Structure formats: structure tokens, C-alpha cells
Structure 1
Amino acid sequence: MSAAPTPADPAVHGGVAHDDRRRGPSYPVAPGNVAAMFRSAAAAHPDREAVVGDGVRLTYAGFAARTGAVARWLAASGVRPGDRVVVLARRCPELCELAVGLILAGGVYVPVDADYPAERIRFICADADPAAVVLVGGAAAPEGIAVPVLDAADPAVLARLDADAAGPVAEGDFGADPAGGDPVYLIYTSGTTGRPKGVVNGHRAVAAHLQTMARAMDSGEVRALQKAPVGFDVGVGEILIPLATGGTVVAPPADWRTDDLETFLRMVLEHRVTVLSLVPSLLRVIFDVLDGLGMPATVFAGIRELILGGEAVPADLVARAREEIGCRVWGLYGPSEAAMDVTWIEFGEGVELREGEHLIGYPEDNVVCYVLDEDDAEVPDGEPGQLHLAGEQLALGYFRRPELTAEAFVASPNPEWDGGRMYRTGDLVRWNDRGQLQFLGRIGDQVKIRGHRVELGEVEAVLRALDGVRAAAAAVRGDAARRLVGYVVADDSAGEDAALLAAMAERVPGYMVPAELVRLPELPLGANGKLDRARLP
């Protein structure tokens, strides 16, 4: 198996490349805990900006002192190393202080979006069994929380933090540093039964990813906008990656909403954002807004790294970003059951991006990817199979759900170099003819139409490849007479429905051609920016 290209030369960065596309380059994970990375970044860059925002500018020296004060306040409030703490928050500078201070104190960060429904907040606050719930950014706890609730904006708390002169957290202040297998954050993801499930990620796994990103984003200092929802791992990464590697978090005010594009544009420009993570559909909206204002995309010339994920990356968006912004464009993929992203691809020279194809690329550093059939045997090139992940970045498992953990995290085929365990993602992929991983959809998205098995992801990919179609989704409607329905967001260059369906019939078997098309101004997206199938009309 031929080796995949790498974002950073292993020979330069002390890694080892492998002549096996299933394996990302191997690197030592040092240090193996996130708290040590925070301390190291602050010591190395005391005068560099750590967190900036409207009216906020904290250098690493100031940020280290502030997070030290937060860590000591949490400890005085009863939080001990290894304790889980729910941080009920909105995006804001204070969230950065709380997340880092908690981890420096040896605690486990449990981020929860303050705008979640009250019932979901109560469930997580009970299920996570936290030592405390901390309110940040104007968050309010719903009734029925059975553990201590601490308000970081309480005047007495702010006075205590301001008066703390003990300085940064030093090694040993809260006992020994966490071991690599100790948890660093617990994040809740939707469960198939409707009950959220907590995923525990450990220090070594997260440190491995943070160090991978530091090597990959080697075009300069990272200045990342805190944009993703608080309760998703992308939102965790937008805080941890910069602050563990000497970069800068650009934090919005607590009342900012992502549909406020005017404030978004101002933050990106005023605070000189260099790394921006978006779902492709939002990038398209941003381009449309710029066009409507008569502003060229060159206003974003300060962005060096544009990270796209969560859905297929259209070729026209990549071309426009590279030509007009002049940045590198990345596609990243990763489930919550691993430390953030686990595969990558840079859409640069020599990378062919075919219309409608959802590429997720190659294994990241210290990551192993297997494409297996129902019997856990590797499938031939070009054939679909379930993606299984192994290597350093695997999560520890599901919180207090051993049966679910045992079902999803299983023995791996090459324990001598893949870590001995792997995670069944439930995602359908294949190795394409260029040695890249291509995402085909969720295994649960496989349906039967007139006796034929149909992957909705493949139908959507073909729809997206049609002229004039900017985004697409597919679903099955009807009970007795089941029919395939296509949903498209199309521009003026797209033909009539009959022409689009005829073009599709030239590419796929008849049973994969939708019985009808529904045109939408935009696809319904969930809070994580991904397609919300339940809201398709």
C-alpha cells in the first residue's frame, strides 16, 4: 500500500512515515498531557496574545495568571483532580479562562451550550455526575440541578479572581500531572435511542491531536475564531488548539449568534483571524453576503488556513477560496469518539476534487484507518465498507456505559502498531482510485427502494455533481409505496427538474434516481452545522 502525503514532513518534525496508506505518520506524543502543553505555551510566549475580543486583550503572561486564579478558585470550591465539572456557557473570553483553568487544576471539562433545552441540560448535569456546574457568559442554570452551581460572573467571584496574585499554575500545584489515560474532557453526543451519551477523551489522545495540528498549521501563528457551538468537539478544539500551541483565540461577545454575519466579518478582520473552521454551506453563505455587499473575498486575505468539515466540500468553493483568499483549504473529518479530527486532506495543487465527491482524505499523524466489511475483513479498493479508527487519538469510551463501549470499541487487527483497539464509526467509506478515503454516508442511511439497497449518501453525491446544484439531500418518503425524494439547493444555471433527473439517470441505475425533486432555498442544518434529515419537508 502506498503511503499518503503528509501535511508536515516527518523527517523535519521527528516523525516516521509509513508505506501503508492505512497509517498516518508516527510521532512521539510529548508531553502526553494537555495541562503541560498549556504551561509550556505560556512560558514560551509570555508577550504573545492568548485571548482577544471586543475590549479584551490577554497576553499569555496575563492569561496564565488568570487561569491560575480560576484553578485555585475551583479547588477552593471543592473541585479535585479527576472531578468532572459542567461548564454551562456561551462563547466568550471567560470560557477560555474556565476551560483552561479547570484542566490545569486537574479537572475534566464538560462543555454544555447554555442555549440547549432545559431538559437536555438537566440530563447532562445528572448523567455526568459533576462536582459542580459553572455558569459562564450569562448562562443560567435550569431548576432541578442537584450539584453546586457556581457563577463565574458573580461579583464576589470576579473580585476574588482579580485579587489573586499567586500567578500561573506550576507543575505539582495540584498534585502530579494527569496520566495519558486520564480524562481531559467529556462531551455529549446524540444517542440512537434519543438519550445523549457522554464520550470521554483522554489527555494523551487530545495532546496527540493538538501536536498534529501544530505541525500541520506551520504557515504561521494560529489566530482562531471561537465560532463553533460550545457543546461540540470543534468548539473544544477552537479553544484548546491555539492555547496549547502558542496561538490566539479570537473570542466573540457572549450575545453573538452565528447568523450575525456582520459581527462575524468584523471579528475576522479586526482581530486578524488566520485559521477559520466552517461547514461548506456557511462558507457559501458568506461568499453570497460579500457579493451582495459588493465586497471582494480578498478582504479575507489574512486567513491562511481554511478548514472545512461536516459535509461534502464543493470544488467551486475550494477554487474561489484558493484564488481569491489565497489560503490553504483543508477538509477534516472526525467523530466525537476520537480526539477531534482524525483524517485530513489539503485541497491544493495535484489534488483532484470531483464534483459531488465527499473526500475525507488520509489518516492524520498517529491515526490508523481500516475499511472493513460486516465480518471485519478488509474490503477491496473501491468497495464500500465501515470505517474503523485506531491509534493514539481514540476516546477512552462512553461514560459509565460499559456495554455500549464494548460494542463500539473492539480489538484491532494490528495491536503491535495500532494500539490494540479500534472504534466502529458507523460511517460508510471506500478507498478511491487515488488512494484517498471517500465518505459515502452513514450505515444507517442505507435504505431499500424496490428491493434494491440504496445509500442515501451516494444519491446525494450524484445530485451535488449536477450542473447548477449547490447542495443536496435525499430521503425516503411513504410507507407502503416507498419513494426516493431528492432535495436540492440550485442556482439559476440548473435546468428544470426533468432535465436534472434525466442527467442523473445517465449516471446511476434507475432505482437510485429520485421519484421527485424538491427545491429548497437552503438545507435544514442542526446546531452542529450538519444536515438535519428530520427537518426535510
Structure 2
Amino acid sequence: MQTIAADDVLRGLQDRYRCAGSQVAVVETGRSWTYAEIGEQVFDLAHRLTEKFPSRAIGDRRVFGVAIDRSPELLVAVHAIALTGSAYCPIEPSDPVQWQQKITRTSKAAAVLTADRARDEHAYLEAFENFYPVSLGESSATEFEHCPVDMNSTSQIIFTSGSTGQPKGVICTHGGFANRICWMQDSFPLQPDDRIALKTPITFDVAGWEMFWPQYAGAQTVIVPPGMHTSPEALISIFNEYQVTVAHFVPSMLRLWLRAEGARRCPNLRMVFSSGEVLDSALVTEFALQSRAELHNLYGPTEAAIDVTHFAVSSETRRQIPIGRPITNTHVYILDRDQQVCPLEEQGEIYIQGVGVASGYLDAGGEDNARFLPVSLDPPDGWRTFRTGDLGRYTTEGQIEFCGRLDDQIKIRGQRVEPGEVEEALREHDAVLEAHARAHVSSTGRSLLVAYVVVDTSYGIADPVGELQEHVKRRLPARSMPSKFVLLDALPLSEHGKIDVTRLPSPGSARPALKSSFQEPADPLEQLIAGIWADVLDLDEVGVHDNFHDLGGDSLGAVEISFILTERLGLDYEDPLIPRILMDGDTVAKSAAIAAAAGLKQ
């Protein structure tokens, strides 16, 4: 066991901002900020927050929502909140207003910090009753003494998908977060000339270490602009322009980045971390062929301060890439149904004990918080226990292997999606009688969310799929949008009255019932693009006026299309025409028109 102080990260930030002076702290497109410049902004905001929103006593949970995209303002906001001893609650600015409001109410945020430059005041008033704008203006604040915190003080309320249909707010602690950041710096020491990419959406727990580790260690943050994190070419360009040395990828994005030979083309990278999904051996092999950088596989639920295990990946051939061994001040057990320790190589449920385990779920019922109840293995004082629902096993080497889930929870681009949350949102539509959501792996290997829906035909909805898409889009984040909707007369039931998943029809490859009528591609360019869309989206056919997102397309699907399109049109990956075709061409007809206007022919 290693001694960790709850305020280790706060003291580290405070000291860096006081002493690092002219050293560069943050780099954004066309501009850099020194530690002195960012520190003044952080200290000034911390003063203003403590004056406007005073805390009654140490240990009081004071929460601030943060609805700011990746930017210097985001770092100023979360660092200032931390120094005041408060908790921040990340809110994705692009999420539906209804979702943002639900998160704000549930977290009981004193205010929601927003960025002046992001959007006009009217939009903020629509989403938040009490918003507090953050801007990088003139400031002369050179001091702020961080407020005292203890190991159980709340550092963050981060919401995950909830199986009951309601999002669950995980109560993370300052002690747990300090343990996680200190472990990372002890294990992988950053130097002043290291540049760490801030590229993860703020509602994904990985963003926590991307936002705090660099300044805690005295290194530099390179901000990847919003929207660029899903483009391999944009990332390669940014990584090379700003000489990024450390980055994180979920395996699905790592696969696309490697397809663009990202590791080979980014020679400054010395460490790449991967988590959020299973890292397979084929990716490891390809990474080793392209780069001599270190590759590290991390595992951990949001309920345990981001990551709890680590495995240093080598080029050695393995059947399965382990998730590794526990990090500092953490025990990981594999237990059977009777909560007894499983023998080596035997599969069981993963239980986590440690200072990093969260305090619980915010205002949750007993069933949810039962996951945090202690088990027969007594932890040291101050440690908590979390039952993950993940399956795993210990190997004879003492490594842990991930073996799947006990339930039907799935990951979309590394982020947790509970089917129950999607089902509840669908049932809120007046015409929906029943709904069931589940994961489906397409013939092209893409992990999709499929919604099976029973619609009351008496409502006479002309375009039920389109209406259901819009209905979900107004209520849930983009990651929770089903890629396919299957309309049924009734859900198949077992003799016990439960949904019989074995009798659910395969979503198949049929074009969805869209509002737009099907129109065959006419010229060769339209035929080429429609064929590529159909292959990637696992569809039999695509019409020239079909909308990409209505067909179930997402950001990773768009990247896959870009690779194939580049090869078929004989273009370079760096050609700016490709993102134009994809971003401005939301239908085959528009994409083909852009390509034709540039003089391309098939």
C-alpha cells in the first residue's frame, strides 16, 4: 500500500502554476499559453467561484457543471473547480438540450460553466437556468491557496448510461483521482518537453487524465479541436505539427488510425495508451510494425477512477492481450457466484477494491448502489469495493484477461451504453407500445445498437423510423442512437413472459424504411459512392437521396468510407477533398456532385 494525499494533484497544479512561469502549458491551433498565463486565469476563476458560490463547510458537495468543448477555457474551468475543493460534472455541449438539463438537475449543479466563444447567450439560457461564462480575459491573479479536501471529498460527478433508463451519476473522489494521476506519473514520468493530446470527449472518463496529468507533471497539453478526434488525417496532422509525444485511443479508433499508417507517420509519439474496448492482437501486431513507441493497455470502469489495471504491450505474439495487473492501492479479484476466489484460469466476475473506487451513484436506489457493497474479502481502511459485471480470469502469469460481460451492456466507441436507457427513451414516444434494444455485430465487424420497436399503427405515422430517430436524438447523446430500427408487430416472448431474444429477427441488410423514396444511383460516381456506403453500413442498397445518418452512419463509419473512397478515386489520404465529400455530402447525390465539381471521374 502506498500513501496518497487527497490533495496531491491540487498541490501539484498549484505549484506548477505558481512556479513554471514562461514554460508552455497549453497549445491550441495557432496559439500557446504559458503556465503563468493559464495560472492567472485559473486562480482568477477560482477566486470568483468561491466568492459567488461559497461552501458552507469542508465536505459539503459543491458541484459545477462544465459544458465547454476542448479548449484552454475547458482546462481553466476544471482546474479552477478542483482548486476550490469542488466537483465538476462534464456536460457535452453537442448533446440534446433535454439531456443536458437532466444532467444539470440530477447533479444539483450550483452553476454550469460555459465558454463565451462557443455559442450565443440565448442557447445557454435555453439549456441552463444558471450558467456562468468562462473567457480568457485580463487577469492579475497570481495566487490561490487550494481549498482543503479529504480522501472522500467529491472531485467529479460523471454520468454513465443507466440500465433503468435513467443516467447514473458516479461520485468520484479526490483521493481516488489523486491515486490514479500519481500512479500514472510514477509509472510513466512526463518531462517538460512532453506534449499530451487532449482529444477525448469530456464525458468519457479518460478525458480526466488528459486534462490533469500534463499540468500536474509540468508538461504541455495539445488541444485537438472539437470534431477532429475522429479523423485519422486530422490527428496525424496535429500530432506532427505540434510534436505530440503521448496520446490515447480507443481500439476502434486506433484501428482506423493505423490503417492510415498513423503510428508510422507520427515519429514523435513515444507512448500510446488504449482503453475502453478490447485491444486485439492484430492491432498490437500492426502497431509494432509501424512504430517503436510504447503501447499500453488499460482497463477500468468509470466507477473506479478511470483505470485499475495496466499491461505493457510488447510485440510478442499472444492469443489474447491481457488487461494486466492492478495499479497502486488497488486489488482486483475474480470471484465466482458465491463470491469465492476463482482458481487460476477459471472465469468469474471482476471485483475491484481500492481507494479509487467511487463513493457510489448519486441519489441511486439500493439495487444500483448494491454494486458498491463490501464482499467477504475485507479491504484495508478507506478502500471501497465495486462489482463490475465484467467477466475475467487470472492467468498463470498473474495477468488478468477480460472475458466479456454478465449482462447486455455494450460499448459504442469506447463509451458505455445501457440498452435499458434507449428502451426507456423510445417508450416515451406516444406511439411506441414496446421497445427492446441490443447489440449486433454486422457482417463488416461493426458493433451496432439495434432497436426493435412495436408501433401503434393507429397514429398513422408516415415515416416511423425517421420520427423515432428524431425522438431519440432529442433525448439521448449521439452514442445512444440505434444504428438500425426494426419494426415488429409484437416482441417475441418466452413461456415465462420475457423477451425471447433467440426469436428476434436479424436486423439484416435491407435499406431502412426512410421518408425519402429510393432512387437508383445514375452516373458512375453515384454508383461508386452508393456501393461504398452500402458495404460499410452493411446494406443491400443505398439511394442517391438517402441521408447518411438516417442509414445508421456514424463517425467511425464515415472514416471507413473515407479510406475506401480515397483508394477508389486514386487520391492521397491527405487530400482535403475527401473530408469535403464526407462532411458536406450527407447524401450520395451531394457527395458525387462535390467530387464531380473537383474534376473527378470514375
Identity of matched residues, %:
26
1:521 aligned partner, one-letter code = V
* 1:307 alignment counterpart: 273
Shift of 1:219: 6.6
- Given that residues 42 and 246 in structure 1 are in contact (C-alpha distance below 8 angstroms), is that contact kept between their aligned partners in structure 2? no
1:132 aligned partner, one-letter code = A
Change (3 A) 1:486 1:234: farther
Does 2:331 correspond to 1:368? yes
Change (3 A) 1:98 1:250: same
1:55 aligned partner, one-letter code = G
- Given that residues 339 and 376 in structure 2 are in contact (C-alpha distance below 8 angstroms), is that contact kept between their aligned partners in structure 1? no
* 2:209 alignment counterpart: 237
Q: Which has the larger radius of gyration?
A: 2
CA distance in 1, matches of 2:207, 2:236: 19
* 1:429 alignment counterpart: 392
Partner of 2:233: helix, strand, or coil? helix
1:389 aligned partner, one-letter code = I
Q: Deviations over 1:151-179 (max 9, x none)?
A: 224xxxx5xx41x31313234xxxx4112
CA distance in 2, matches of 1:440, 1:520: 30
Counterpart of 1:386 (choices 346, 349, 353) is 349
- Given that residues 32 and 204 in structure 1 are in contact (C-alpha distance below 8 angstroms), is that contact kept between their aligned partners in structure 2? yes
Does 2:82 correspond to 1:117? no
Counterpart of 2:536 (choices 500, 516, 521) is 521
Change (3 A) 1:31 1:363: same
Question: Counterparts of 1:71-86 in structure 2 under 5 Å?
Answer: 71-78=46-53, 80=55, 82-86=61-65
TM-score by length of 2: 0.65
- Given that residues 332 and 343 in structure 1 are in contact (C-alpha distance below 8 angstroms), is that contact kept between their aligned partners in structure 2? yes
Shift of 1:186: 0.8
CA distance in 2, matches of 1:52, 1:127: 34
- Given that residues 190 and 214 in structure 2 are in contact (C-alpha distance below 8 angstroms), is that contact kept between their aligned partners in structure 1? no
CA distance in 2, matches of 1:408, 1:527: 33
Partner of 2:40: helix, strand, or coil? helix
Shift of 1:132: 0.6
CA distance in 2, matches of 1:276, 1:55: 20
Change (3 A) 1:27 1:122: same
Partner of 2:302: helix, strand, or coil? coil
Question: Counterparts of 1:176-325 in structure 2 under 5 Å?
Answer: 176-218=147-189, 220-221=191-192, 222-253=194-225, 255-290=226-261, 297-325=263-291
1:138 aligned partner, one-letter code = A
Shift of 1:415: 3.2
Shift of 1:474: 11
* 1:52 alignment counterpart: 27
* 1:170 alignment counterpart: 145
Q: Deviations over 1:281-315 (max 9, x none)?
A: 2122122234xxxxx74321111111111222222
* 1:514 alignment counterpart: none
- Given that residues 234 and 340 in structure 1 are in contact (C-alpha distance below 8 angstroms), is that contact kept between their aligned partners in structure 2? yes
Does 2:110 correspond to 1:131? yes
Shift of 1:129: 0.8
Out of 358-367 and 469-478, give the one that drifted further: 469-478
- Given that residues 413 and 420 in structure 1 are in contact (C-alpha distance below 8 angstroms), is that contact kept between their aligned partners in structure 2? no
Shift of 1:332: 0.5
* 2:2 alignment counterpart: 27
CA distance in 2, matches of 1:418, 1:484: 48
1:306 aligned partner, one-letter code = V
Runs of 4+ deviating beyond 6 Å: 468-478, 483-488, 522-529
Shift of 1:215: 1.3
CA distance in 2, matches of 1:406, 1:94: 34
Change (3 A) 1:475 1:359: farther
TM-score by length of 1: 0.73
CA distance in 2, matches of 1:264, 1:383: 41
Does 2:313 correspond to 1:353? no
Out of 133-142 and 59-68, give the one that drifted further: 133-142
CA distance in 2, matches of 1:316, 1:262: 21
Out of 317-326 and 339-348, give the one that drifted further: 317-326
Counterpart of 2:87 (choices 108, 114, 134) is 108
- Given that residues 308 and 329 in structure 1 are in contact (C-alpha distance below 8 angstroms), is that contact kept between their aligned partners in structure 2? yes
* 1:497 alignment counterpart: none
Aligned residues: 435
Shift of 1:476: 13
CA distance in 1, matches of 2:365, 2:104: 20
Partner of 1:429: helix, strand, or coil? strand
Shift of 1:432: 2.7
- Given that residues 191 and 217 in structure 2 are in contact (C-alpha distance below 8 angstroms), is that contact kept between their aligned partners in structure 1? no
Partner of 1:272: helix, strand, or coil? coil
Change (3 A) 1:114 1:145: closer
Change (3 A) 1:197 1:314: same
- Given that residues 36 and 177 in structure 1 are in contact (C-alpha distance below 8 angstroms), is that contact kept between their aligned partners in structure 2? no
- Given that residues 346 and 394 in structure 2 are in contact (C-alpha distance below 8 angstroms), is that contact kept between their aligned partners in structure 1? yes
Out of 244-253 and 135-144, give the one that drifted further: 135-144
1:440 aligned partner, one-letter code = C
* 1:98 alignment counterpart: 77
- Given that residues 190 and 219 in structure 2 are in contact (C-alpha distance below 8 angstroms), is that contact kept between their aligned partners in structure 1? no
Partner of 1:400: helix, strand, or coil? coil
Does 2:132 correspond to 1:150? yes
Partner of 2:201: helix, strand, or coil? coil
Q: Which runs of 5+ in 2 are unaligned?
A: 410-440, 453-490, 493-499, 509-533, 539-551, 558-602
CA distance in 2, matches of 1:528, 1:166: 43
Change (3 A) 1:38 1:267: same
- Given that residues 33 and 203 in structure 1 are in contact (C-alpha distance below 8 angstroms), is that contact kept between their aligned partners in structure 2? no
Change (3 A) 1:111 1:525: farther
Counterpart of 1:67 (choices 19, 24, 42) is 42
Partner of 2:104: helix, strand, or coil? helix
